[in-house]
Amino acid sequence: MRKIVSAIVAITIATGALLLPVSARSENGQIAAGVVGGLIGGALLGGALASRPAPPPVYYAPEPVYIEEPACRIVRERYWDGYGWVYRRFQVCN
């Protein structure tokens, strides 16, 4: 945004120095046309610079949730039953 404004100011200053001064005369409504043109141009430029989109909403990460581990767990155990190896699951509580 600052670059655009700086460019507009630089162009205005550069072209203003190159123009020759002209005496002010009010023939055929030239001054009124200049004033109206300046007002319209200012309104367009001001509206373009002022119509910025709203910033995105601030994102807050959710707080961490701590879950206490249960006191019991499932354990697999392998044992011989006389015919072969068998696996069984049982619950162990501390």
Which residue would you say has higher pLDDT here, 86 or 4?
A: 86
Q: What is the pLDDT of residue 21?
A: 63
**Are 72 and 90 in contact, with CB atoms under 8 Å apart?**
no
**Residue 12 confidence (pLDDT) above 80:** no
pLDDT at 78: 94
Question: What CA–CA distance (Å, rounded) separates 92 from 89?
Answer: 10
Listed range (24-28, 63-67, 87-91) with the worst mean pLDDT: 24-28
Look up tokens 């119509």; give the residue. Answer: 51
Q: Has residue 4 got a pLDDT over 90?
A: no
Q: What is the DSSP string of the chain?
A: -HHHHHHHHHHHHHHHHHSPP-----STTHHHHHHHHHHHHHHHHHHHHH-PPPPPPPP-PPPP---PPPSEEEEEEEEE-SSSEEEEEEEEE-
18 pLDDT exceeds 60? Answer: no
- The pLDDT, as a whole number, for residue 41 is 87
